Structure 1
Amino acid sequence: MAVKRTKHAQDDALPPKTMANVGRHLRQRRLELKLTLVELSEKCGVSFATISKIETGKVSGGFQTIYKIARGLGLLVTDILEPDVDQDEKIVLRRRGEIEPHRTSLYDYYPQATRVHGRLNSSIMVVHTKEVPDRIDWSNHEGEEVVTVLSGSIRLHLDGDEPLVLEQGDSACFDSGIPHAYVCTSTGPAEIIFVSTRPPHGAPT
């Protein structure tokens, strides 16, 4: 079933309740990686002043800004936007009406039920960009990624490899540590679902 897509916004504002924990997660990850604000700024293309204000809760960032910072830290954006789940939970359920989309100028994300043991991430994504993104906007994060095209068609770009065209029903699996990007090749927006894995918490990266 296709996701109902609303009017696109380049940088949807995140609600205050969501932003409350975002800065803490970003700062914690940055310190784990021993990155200065300036170093992170150079990696993600967001000014160090903005990163500092987001970390300390002095300003609320839009989704696209948070997306860029998370990518610079090697995180999936849902790592910091999705609520934590009790590790004793056996199943995480998300009803269709509970899915809130997050948008960037390239993609619209519809996070699916995730977070059991923190090892899996799944989102439906609407790909509307028809141009190859700037390299700073390519993604890379720990683990593996599986993508399946639900409707339309895309071109999968992997750093160092020839682009792959995926039609409806096609799928691909790759090392998500390799910089990658999706481009829509169909007349209308393409819809995909991707599942990403990550090492268990505390495992070496």
Structure 2
Amino acid sequence: MDAGFDVGARLRQLRLERGLSQRELAKRAKVTNSSISLIEQNSVSPSVSSLKKILDALPVSISAFFAGDEPNHPSPFYKASELTEIGDGQLSWRLVAARRPDRRMSILHERYPPGSDSGEDMLEHDGEEGGVVISGRIEITVNGEVEELSAGDAYYFDSRLPHRFRNTGDEECVIVSANTPPTFSDGGEELHHG
């Protein structure tokens, strides 16, 4: 863990924001009261698994814990290294402004390696989504309609319709997409690296 990061202070801040006593958080996380106290005092450094147990009880993702809160007046600009990875380990979906308060859309920089697939189960969620293929080719299925798109081609559809993305080619496909309302958020059920 980052030696310059104050794990204890961050945990205390998140616990107090949620109005939880050390005892209540310990009960929810199924750890001892003294564990929470010692971590908050920086007397012990928690293992990743015990920190994850505690954060799940808040609930806060590990990435959000270490990223901290977005400033009150977030910068309108994000370096590539500041995008939040929410992919599944094979697909890379990097979310712009993941912790921006009151975000009303999701913008994703998506990478699909050859042979990758958004999954056997069709995706369905509220809202609308669209995107432009930057490089490579992608097969998109929307409500039974199948189309293969290549660089410069685009899509836009109602996200409640069952849909799926598959890279059937032999080179990586890169897409920049947006959806609204913001289906992807940094915390809770998202898939995460690290």
What TM-score comes out, normalization by structure 2 length? Answer: 0.51
| Cα distance in 2 for residues equivalent to 1:186 and 1:149 | 14
| Cα distance in 2 for residues equivalent to 1:178 and 1:128 | 24
1:120-141 Cα deviation digits (max 9, x unpaired): 10111111252655443x3322
Q: Select the residue among 108, 114, 133 that pairs with 1:149.
A: 133
Alpha-carbon distance, 1:110 to partner: 1.8
| Cα distance in 2 for residues equivalent to 1:59 and 1:135 | 33
1:88-109 Cα deviation digits (max 9, x unpaired): 7475321123235444254112
Which amino acid is 1:125 matched to? E
Identical aligned pairs, as a percentage?
22
Indicate the structure (1 or 2) with the bigger Cα radius of gyration: 2
Find the residue that maps to 2:175 and give its secondary structure. Answer: strand
Compute the RMSD of aligned alpha carbons.
Answer: 3.8
| Cα distance in 1 for residues equivalent to 2:81 and 2:119 | 34
Find the residue that maps to 1:157 and give its secondary structure. Answer: strand
Q: Select the residue among 58, 70, 75 that pairs with 2:53.
A: 58
Structure 2 unmatched ranges of 5 or more: 1-6, 15-48, 57-66, 183-194
Which amino acid is 2:130 matched to? V
| Cα distance in 1 for residues equivalent to 2:52 and 2:179 | 29
Residue 173 (str. 1) matches residue 168 (str. 2):
no
Alpha-carbon contact 2:141-2:163 (below 8 Å) kept: yes
Higher mean alpha-carbon deviation, 122-131 vs 140-149, is at: 122-131
1:147-178 Cα deviation digits (max 9, x unpaired): 110100101112x3221111101111011122
Q: Select the residue among 185, 189, 195 that pairs with 2:168.
A: 185
What TM-score comes out, normalization by structure 1 length? Answer: 0.49
Structure number with the higher helix fraction is 1
